[in-house]
Amino acid sequence: MDKPKIWTKDFINITTISFFIFLAFYILLTALPLQLTKEFGGGADQAGLLLTLFLIAAIVIRPFAGKWVSIGSQKKILIYSATAFLIATLFYPFVNNIWSLFILRIIHGITFGIITTVKGTISAEIIPDSRRGEGLSWFSLAMGLAMVIGPVIGLNLANIGAYNTSYILCIVISAINVFLSMVIHVPQQEQPEKASKKNKSFVLDDLVDKKAAPFALVIFLLACAYSGIASFLALYAQEINLVKAASTFFILYAGLMFVFRPFTGVWADRYGANKIVYPCIVLFAIGMVLLSLPQTAVIMIMAGAVIGIGYGSVTPILQTQIISSVDKHRVGIANSLFFNSMDLGMAIGAFVLGIAAKSFGFSSVFLFGIVLIVVGGLAYFAFAGRKKNEDRYAVEEYN
C-alpha cells in the first residue's frame, strides 16, 4: 500500500513561508542586540528585553489567532498576516534609538504571532495524518535551518556594521512570503463546531487544552534553556574572541539537525515519542554542560553538534504530541499553544537570563540552562512517561 505523499506543491510553499519567517526573525534576533549595545548604548538586560517584548506581543495575540484560524479563512489570515509582517519589517532601517526599537518589536511581534499560528495550522492540514510526525519534522526543518542561517547572517553583517543590509534582506524575504501566501492552496476546513461560530467570545479553553498542557510545559522549559543560546551566545563569543567558533556552532547545529530530524520523526511515528524525547533531552543537557565550561573553539563547536541533535530533534516531536492530543478542528488552538509555550519560554528565559548574564557573567546563562533542561526532562517523565499508550499518534498503524 502506497503511503500518502508529503512533498506536494502546497507543502513546499508553506514550508518555504515558514523558513522565510524564521530567517527574518533570527537575522533580527542576532543583529539587533549588537546594534543596541554598540550604537544605542544599551546593556545585556536591554538586549534580552528586545526578544522578550517581541515574544510577549506574539503570545498575547496568538490565542485570538488560534480562534480566528479555527473558524475563519486560513488563507485570508495568512495573506493579511504576511503583509503586516512585511510592513513592520520596512521600519527597521529608520529606527535610531532604543525606545522606538522597543515599540517596533512589539508591533512586529503581533504580526509574528498571527502568521506563525496560521502557517503551522495550514501545514497540519496539508500533512497526511498517518505521516504527521515525519511531515512535521520535515516542516520544522525550515525553522531549524533559519535558526542557524539567520544568526550567521546577522552576526557577520552586524560585525561589519551593515545593519541596514540585514534589514533590507529581511524586507525582501518578507515580500516573497506575501506572494507565496497568495498562490498557496489551503485545504477546505472541517467545521464541526458550528457552535464556535455562534459563540465567538474568547474563553480559557481557547488558550490551554488540558490534554496538550503537559507537552506544552516541557516545551516551555526547554525553550527557556535555549533562549540563553539564541540571545547571548553571539555576545559571549564576541567577549571571548570566539566569533568564528560561534558561527561554526550554528552551522554544525543545522547540519546535524538536518541529518537526524527526518529520522526521528519517522521513528516517533513508528515506535512512540518517548523513545526519541528522552535521549534528545539528555543530549541537550550535555551540550549545555559543554557551553558552561571554560570555552575553547573546540568545546563550543562540540556543543553545537550535540545540541543540534538534542534540541534540534525534540521540538517537532513535542509539537506532534500537542497536535495529536486534540480534536482535529482544534488544531489551530493546539498550534497556538505550541508556539506560545515556546515563545513564552524564549521571552521569560531571555529576560531572566539577561539579568543573570549582567550580574554573574555569560557562563551563568548556561548553568541555569542545565537546570531548566533537567526540570523539563522530569516534567516529561511525570506527565507523559507514565502512559502505557505512549502517544496517540504513535499507535497508528505504520504502513
The torsion angles phi and psi of 199, rounded to 5 degrees, stand at: -110, 90
Q: Could you list the residue range(s) of the whole structural domain that residue 359 is in?
A: 9-186+209-395
Report, as ranges of residue numbers, the positions in the chain whose pLDDT lies below 50. Answer: 1, 193-198, 388-399
1 in any annotated domain:
no
> Which CATH number covers residue 232?
1.20.1250.20
Q: How far is CA 318 from CA 46, 212, 220, 323, 365, in A?
A: 31, 10, 11, 9, 24
Question: Residue 358 domain-assigned?
Answer: yes
Q: HSE, CB side, 13 Å, CA atoms: give it for residue 231.
A: 38
Domain assignment of residue 200, yes or no:
no
Distance CA 361, CA 168 (A): 33
Query: What interhelical angle do 331-360 and 98-126 show, nearest 10?
Result: 140
Q: Which among 336, 279, 271 is positioned nearest to 311, based on CA atoms?
A: 279
The verdict on pTM exceeding 0.85 is no
pLDDT at 80: 95
Q: How far apart are CA 115 and CA 83, in angstroms?
A: 10
* Residue 96 lies inside a defined structural domain of this protein: yes
192 occurs within a structural domain? no
Residue 203 placed within a domain: no
Of 235, 269, 317, the residue nearest 50 (C-alpha): 235
- Establish if 2 belongs to a structural domain: no
User: Is 3 contained in some domain?
Assistant: no
Q: Identity (one letter) of the amino acid at 192? A: P
Cβ atoms of 15 and 131 closer than 8 Å:
no
| Cβ(102)–Cβ(49) below 8 Å | yes
* Domains of the chain: total: 1
* Terminal CA-CA length for the chain: 7
Helix/strand/coil for 233: helix
What distance in Å separates the CA atoms of residue 332 and residue 119, rounded to the nearest whole number?
Answer: 10
